[in-house]
Structure 1
């Protein structure tokens, strides 16, 4: 299948028109590859490290010609494209090596088997529904029933096992033994949805990039807020994207191993 047909198939499932007004889904760089057979490298964030990985794969015999990313490469309007800048160097390498960059962001967040659905499945949410519906049956986040109402501690252990975040933050006054009947999940930066999560009747909410006052707001509204980090809450959906692109007809598709969390937690040394 050609890249053009693959993108058409994908966009029929997750239309770019569903993106938020501030977003930039779709082609980021298209260096004249639409008629080529689709060989895809999937990643969370399209960085120079991922582009270098794609180039190395080509050199070793895997003909990668498309980086399919969740996060856009370009958000703000560009005023110039220059070498020595991340976007400028990505554009240069893209055209030099014939490797395009495409993004599915807030459109992929909403659909079945998108970022929220994958989290719901990993945590075994039953009867999941969108936290914030946008269209019939789809929307941002998922909220559902936790089988057998595990304790908050058990939920945190399951999140650690399934997502392997480098660290977990949660509301400090929460009782680790309290049962969690309903859990809400939203991959990436989801603190702005706290109001809708409270209305959904969730006992706890898993998301990322939460600030000090958002933890305060959640506490004051009787919600346990859990922050597992942006990378950990969205990276699992990238693996699902590989499966989706293969099912749509990509010749090959594989997951990048050069994706980065961009954060490292300092391990405080034990003082004698």
Structure 2
């Protein structure tokens, strides 16, 4: 029988993908309104939390909204019910709807908004455009009874441990003998209380990234047969992968800037866009940053981009890019809506592993403020 879960259970699983620690200091991510300590049967994923989105959530009986853009970005000075923002908060509280926001942490996360946009546009061999930190390596060492070594290494490998370059499931194993004495109150998998037990064990060594640590310890404990698991987690000197906003990569083949613009419009489902540069010129190296990315023009130019795809480009910054020879394609801010399906897919996969009874839907309300005529 499928079980119900708390909103907090879903958010803990979600934060294994888009940890709040990835967000910029100026951002306001996480719980926005309500409580995560409540049973949740229906989740709605949205880009924004406007009044029409909240009305949709009420009509559809939603318990939890997961949004990309925070509704509480600046400190509140009043909750005025004569304003749209005041009514939004009132309706959320009245109908017991919790709102959680994943903003720059979802932009930055591996497989997050930046990677989704790159995938939509067919940009390959990507790397981080604006590094903010690096995902350092840890060595994970676990002592496993020989009888469970194969199933254990398979479980942690399937979860992503030991991923080096284009190789997965990388582990090193050493045979040895483990000994222990189960004391009063224990329920040992092997051995008898009060007696020293010696067991043929395998020392399993692998690597995980710092961002994977919180995710992996529960997997280790679940895959291991012992009541108490002996493990080491050691920080390494190896430099980890850069972590940060935006991506830069290449198209499979050079195409004209005009053709690339048509490609962006089709793939990101936008009726129009703004562009600078010579439309006949061939382009291949593409930088992408969802949302407002005009602050990172220099990053895109320094890394050799032919085109920088970002939203909310203002006049003078567009001129600067144009004069330095960087083509800019601005499809708007709303293209970040690509996160809705990705978050839905992720949550449904996690819910399946929980054997939970939770429905995930995508908001169909339009939050694009612009009309194109």
- Give TM-score scaled by structure 1 length: 0.90
Task: Indicate the structure with greater helix content.
Answer: 1
SS of residue in 1 equivalent to 2:31: strand
Q: Which stretch of the first structure deviates more once superposed, 77-86 or 157-166?
A: 77-86
State the Cα deviation string for residues 110-140 of structure 1 (Å, max 9, x = none): 0122111111001111101110122334311
Equivalences for residues 15-34 of structure 1 within 5 A: 15-30=19-34, 32=35, 34=37
State the Cα deviation string for residues 4-46 of structure 1 (Å, max 9, x = none): 111112123222232222211111101x452303421111110
Equivalences for residues 133-144 of structure 1 within 5 A: 133-134=131-132, 135=134, 136-144=241-249
- Residue in structure 2 matching 1:131, options 110, 129, 132: 129
1:256 maps to which residue?
A: 363
Unaligned segments of structure 2, at least 5 residues: 135-240
Q: Distance in 2 between matches of 1:166 and 1:157?
A: 10
Is the 1:39–1:65 contact (alpha carbons within 8 Å) kept by the matching residues of 2? yes
- Alignment of 1:42 onto 2:45: yes
1:216 maps to which residue?
A: 319
- Residue in structure 2 matching 1:80, options 63, 78, 81: 78
2:336 maps to which residue?
A: 234
SS of residue in 2 equivalent to 1:180: strand
- Alignment of 1:207 onto 2:310: yes
Q: Distance in 2 between matches of 1:191 and 1:177?
A: 24
Is the 2:23–2:105 contact (alpha carbons within 8 Å) kept by the matching residues of 1? yes
2:102 maps to which residue?
A: 104
Q: Distance in 1 between matches of 2:65 and 2:248?
A: 31
Q: Distance in 1 between matches of 2:20 and 2:36?
A: 20
SS of residue in 2 equivalent to 1:93: helix
Task: Indicate the structure with greater strand content.
Answer: 2
Unaligned segments of structure 1, at least 5 residues: 59-63, 268-272
- Residue in structure 2 matching 1:147, options 241, 244, 252: 252
Divergent runs of 4+, >6 A: none
Q: Distance in 1 between matches of 2:78 and 2:273?
A: 39
Q: Distance in 1 between matches of 2:336 and 2:32?
A: 20
Structure number with greater Rg is: 2
2:282 maps to which residue?
A: 179
Q: Which stretch of the first structure deviates more once superposed, 99-108 or 7-16?
A: 7-16
Distance apart, 1:87 and its partner CA: 3.0
* RMSD of aligned residue pairs (Cα, Å): 1.5
- Alignment of 1:67 onto 2:61: no
Q: Distance in 2 between matches of 1:33 and 1:121?
A: 32
Is the 1:43–1:259 contact (alpha carbons within 8 Å) kept by the matching residues of 2? no
